[in-house]
Chain A
Amino acid sequence: MIARLRPSIVLAAALLAVALLAGGIGGAAAQTMSYADAVDQLATACRADFAKYCKNVELGDGRLRACLDAHQNVVSPRCQQTRAMVYASIARRAAAQRDIGTICDADIERLCGTSHADAHLVECLVSVSPAAMSPACSQAFTDTGWRTEKAQQ
């Protein structure tokens, strides 16, 4: 009886794992991680692979990423998956933080009647409801992480 149940338990566990994984990736796409969380996840998931393939490789200058890219066919599946998710999150957050002034320029003019200069940008965007913002500006503001950072203060 137990022997007969086992394959279905394994199947259920596998389905659950796939569902959790899909949820995790979907969640990352909806909201970027802090740089600290992102790189910590990478360090945790790839610890053994770093020691094996990227020992003495620098985090900076894109060297660690280049090493992981060069070994993508041999690193553990967990490291491979986390690497893709983490670098996507970092790139997306950095792009949002860099470009939000341009992306939200019209929104800030319309909603706050000011130009987007410096810290006033965040003051303006936290003061208005996400529904009032253009979808692109709202998504970019979420991606910067500043919406939640402000909420935590």
Chain B
Amino acid sequence: MIRYQIGAVCALALAIAATVAGADTRLNSGEIATSLAAVSTSGKLDLTAAQMRQAVMDNIRNYPGALPPRALTFPQLANLAQFTVEINFNFNSAVIRPDSYRNVGAIADALHNPILLGYGFLVIGHTDSVGGRVYNVGLSQRRAEAVVAALVNPFGINPAVLQPIGMGEEQLRDPAHPTSGVNRRVQLINVGKKFCFGRAGEQFVCQ
């Protein structure tokens, strides 16, 4: 009898594993690449990484509170091709958890797809609302940098086409459930053909 119960538990565990694998399969690198390739801008983006970071800090100063009373928006980014990926990190840390390695690898597969050759991307880190807002900006910046570091080595993406930015909790995906896991994510935004980033986040034409 006990043996049958163990068998049932194992079967349930396998079913859960299969569901998780199914969820992984849905994050398909071809889908990421296609979504990111739908470019709607022909000009240079009129927004630098430094201006975005400033806007994040301004939002915290001008709209204080435990939770952001007003979500930060960037009209310049609204029509750009983008894709959001859930990546799990160790708690209060920028270390990517092994269960999210596959998702980082899928981003690498997409960014290496020839249809995205020569495009520049913002890699925007978002946290949930646990922790202070200013602290979360720093944490999400370090997490975005950790994703960029992994895309560069081992996955061979050119670092000049990637710009990490920490958005903290200023753009919660589910403001009604600010501590929910759906808020913890990394967002890729295609900022246009042949735009690379300098050390200060300024854009220039690649090559």
Q: Residues on A close to B: CB < 8 A?
A: 34-40, 42-43, 46-47, 50, 56-62, 64-65, 87, 90-91, 94, 97-98, 118-119, 121-122, 145-146, 149, 152-153
Residues of A within 8 A of B104 (CB): 39, 59
Which residues of B are found within 8 Å of A87, using beta-carbon distances?
154
Within 8 Å by CB of A35, from B98, B105, B115, lies B105
Distance, CA A87 to CA B102, complexed state (A): 14
Contact B102 A39 (CB under 8 A): yes
B108: A residues at CB distance < 8 A: 35-36
B113 x A149 contact (CB < 8 A) = yes
Contacts of A58 in B (CB 8 A): 94-96, 146, 149-150
* Known pairs A39-B105, A149-B30; A60 contacts B146 (CB<8 A): yes
Residues of B within 8 A of A57 (CB): 95
**Cα(A35)–Cα(B27), bound, Å:** 13
Q: Nearest A residue to B108 by beta-carbon distance?
A: A35
| Closest chain B residue to A144, Cβ basis | B112
The answer to whether B106 touches A35, judged by C-beta atoms less than 8 angstroms apart, is yes
Number of A-B contacts (CB under 8 A): 101
Give chain B's interface residues, CB within 8 Å of chain A.
24, 29-30, 90, 93-96, 98-99, 101-106, 108-109, 112-115, 117-118, 146-156
Q: B105–A38 contact, CB under 8 A?
A: yes
Contact of B154 with A34 in the complex, beta carbons under 8 Å:
no
- Of chain A, the residue at the smallest CB distance from B34 is A153
CA distance A40 to B109 in the complex (A): 13
Residue contact A97 to B99, C-beta cutoff 8 Å: no
What distance in Å separates the Cβ of B109 from its nearest Cβ neighbour in chain A? 5
A34 proximity list for chain B (CB < 8 A): 29, 105-106, 109
Nearest chain B residue, comparing its CB with the CB of A150: B114
Query: Judging by beta carbons under 8 Å apart, are B155 and A42 in contact?
Result: no
Complex Cα spacing A153 to B105, Å = 19
Contact (Cβ within 8 A) B101 A40: yes
Which partner residue on chain A sits nearest B112 by CB separation?
A: A97
> Given that A40-B101, A118-B114 are contacting pairs, would A61 and B153 also be in contact in the complex, using a CB cutoff of 8 Å?
yes
Q: Whole-angstrom distance from the CB of B93 to the nearest CB of chain A?
A: 7
B154–A65 touching, CB < 8 Å: yes
Interchain CA distance A62-B156 in the complex, whole Å: 11
Could you tell me if A152 and B30 are in contact, using CB atoms closer than 8 angstroms?
Answer: yes
**Chain B nearest CB: distance from A32 CB in Å?**
11
The interface residues of chain A lying within 8 Å CB-to-CB of B151 are: 60
Report chain B residues within 8 Å CB of A152: 30
- Shortest Cβ distance from residue A61 to the other chain B in the assembled complex, whole angstroms: 5
